[in-house]
Chain A
Amino acid sequence: MTRRHKQTLARILVAGVLLVAAVLTPESWGLWRLPIFLIPYFVVGWDVLWEAICNIAHGEIFDENFLMCVATLGALVLGEYTEAVGVMLFYQVGELFQSLAVSKSRRSIAQLMDIRPDSAHVLRGGEEVTVDPDEVQVGETLVVRPGERIALDGVVVEGSSSLDTAALTGESMPRDVEEGQEVSSGCVNLTGLLHLEVTRPFGQSTVARILELVENAAAKKAKAEHFITRFARWYTPAVVLGAAALAIVGGLVTGHWGEWVRRALIFLVISCPCALVISIPMAFFGGIGGASRQGVLVKGGNYLELLAKTRTVVFDKTGTLTQGKFALSGLYPVREEDEEPLLRWAALAESHSNHPIAQSLRRAWQGDVKDHTVTDVEEIPGRGVCATVDGVEVLAGNAVFLSQHGFTPAQDVPAGTVVHVAAQGRYLGFALIADQVKDHAAKTIAQLKAQGVRTVMLTGDSREVGEQMAQRLGLDQVHAQLLPQDKVDQLEQLLDQKPEGTALAYVGDGVNDAPVLSRADVGVAMGGMGSDAAIEAADVVLMDDDPAKLLTAMSIARKCRAIVIQNIVFALGVKGLFLAMGAFGVATMWEAVFADVGVAVIAILNASRMLYHKK
Chain B
Amino acid sequence: MKKVFKLEELDCANCARKMEEAIGKLPGVHSASISFMTQKLTLEAEDERFEEIVGQAQKCISRVERHCRIVK
Residue of A nearest to B20 (CB): A229
Most buried by A among B33, B35, B66: B35
Interface range on chain B (Cβ under 8 Å from partner) = 20 to 34
* 22 A-B interface contacts by CB (under 8 A): A54-B66, A55-B64, A60-B64, A99-B11, A105-B37, A106-B38, A106-B39, A216-B4, A218-B35, A218-B40, A219-B4, A229-B17, A229-B21, A233-B21, A277-B13, A277-B17, A277-B36, A278-B36, A281-B13, A281-B36, A281-B37, A285-B35
Cβ B33 vs Cβ A219 within 8 A: yes
Interface presence of A40 (CB below 8 A): no
In the assembly, what is the distance between CA of A215 and CA of B13, in Å? 18
Closest Cβ–Cβ distance, residue B54 to chain A (whole Å): 16
Q: Which residues of B lie under 8 Å from residue A64 when comparing CB positions? A: 12, 14
Contact of A274 among B13, B33, B38 (CB under 8 A): B13
Interface presence of B63 (CB below 8 A): yes
Closest Cβ–Cβ distance, residue A576 to chain B (whole Å): 18
Cβ A215 vs Cβ B40 within 8 A: yes
Interface presence of A232 (CB below 8 A): yes
Interface presence of B42 (CB below 8 A): yes
In the assembly, what is the distance between CA of A55 and CA of B66, in Å? 9
In the assembly, what is the distance between CA of A233 and CA of B18, in Å? 8
Interface presence of A221 (CB below 8 A): yes
Q: Which residues of A lie under 8 Å from residue B20 when comparing CB positions? A: 229
What string of 1s and 0s marks CB contacts (under 8 Å) between A246-285 and chain B? 0000000000000000000000000011100110011001
Closest Cβ–Cβ distance, residue A599 to chain B (whole Å): 14
In the assembly, what is the distance between CA of A58 and CA of B64, in Å? 8
Q: A residues engaging B (CB < 8 A)?
A: 51, 54-55, 58, 60, 64, 99, 102, 105-106, 109, 215-216, 218-221, 229, 232-233, 272-274, 277-278, 281-282, 285
In the assembly, what is the distance between CA of A583 and CA of B46, in Å? 49
20 new A-B contacts, CB < 8 A, other than A60-B63, A105-B37, are: A64-B12, A106-B38, A215-B38, A215-B40, A218-B40, A219-B4, A219-B35, A221-B33, A229-B17, A229-B20, A229-B21, A232-B17, A272-B14, A273-B14, A277-B17, A278-B13, A278-B36, A281-B13, A281-B37, A285-B35
Cβ A274 vs Cβ B21 within 8 A: no
Most buried by A among B14, B21, B36: B14
Q: B residues engaging A (CB < 8 A)?
A: 4, 11-14, 16-17, 20-21, 33, 35-40, 42, 63-64, 66
DSSP class of A's interface residues: helix, strand, loop or mixed? helix
In the assembly, what is the distance between CA of A106 and CA of B11, in Å? 13
DSSP class of B's interface residues: helix, strand, loop or mixed? mixed
Closest Cβ–Cβ distance, residue B44 to chain A (whole Å): 10
Q: Which residues of A lie under 8 Å from residue B39 when comparing CB positions? A: 106
Q: Which residues of A lie under 8 Å from residue B37 when comparing CB positions? A: 102, 105-106, 109, 218, 281-282, 285
Q: Which residues of A lie under 8 Å from residue B64 when comparing CB positions? A: 55, 60
Q: Which residues of A lie under 8 Å from residue B35 when comparing CB positions? A: 218-219, 281, 285
* Contacts A54-B66, A218-B35, A281-B36; A274 near B42 (Cβ below 8 A): no
Q: Which residues of B lie under 8 Å from residue A218 when comparing CB positions? A: 35, 37-38, 40
Contact of A216 among B13, B17, B21, B42 (CB under 8 A): B42
Closest Cβ–Cβ distance, residue A279 to chain B (whole Å): 9
In the assembly, what is the distance between CA of A285 and CA of B40, in Å? 13
Closest Cβ–Cβ distance, residue B29 to chain A (whole Å): 14
Closest Cβ–Cβ distance, residue A80 to chain B (whole Å): 27
Q: Which residues of B lie under 8 Å from residue A220 when comparing CB positions? A: 33
In the assembly, what is the distance between CA of A102 and CA of B40, in Å? 15
Closest Cβ–Cβ distance, residue A107 to chain B (whole Å): 11
* Contacts A60-B63, A281-B35, A285-B35; A219 near B14 (Cβ below 8 A): no
Residue of B nearest to A233 (CB): B21
Q: Which residues of A lie under 8 Å from residue B33 when comparing CB positions? A: 219-221
Residue of B nearest to A274 (CB): B14
Q: Which residues of B lie under 8 Å from residue A60 when comparing CB positions? A: 63-64
Q: Which residues of B lie under 8 Å from residue A229 when comparing CB positions? A: 17, 20-21
Q: Which residues of A lie under 8 Å from residue B12 when comparing CB positions? A: 64, 274
Closest Cβ–Cβ distance, residue B23 to chain A (whole Å): 13
In the assembly, what is the distance between CA of A215 and CA of B33, in Å? 13
Q: Which residues of A lie under 8 Å from residue B36 when comparing CB positions? A: 102, 277-278, 281
Closest Cβ–Cβ distance, residue A201 to chain B (whole Å): 20
Closest Cβ–Cβ distance, residue B15 to chain A (whole Å): 9
Closest Cβ–Cβ distance, residue B11 to chain A (whole Å): 7
What 3 pairs between A and B have smallest CB-CB spacing?
A218-B35, A278-B13, A219-B42
* Contacts A218-B35, A219-B42; A277 near B14 (Cβ below 8 A): yes
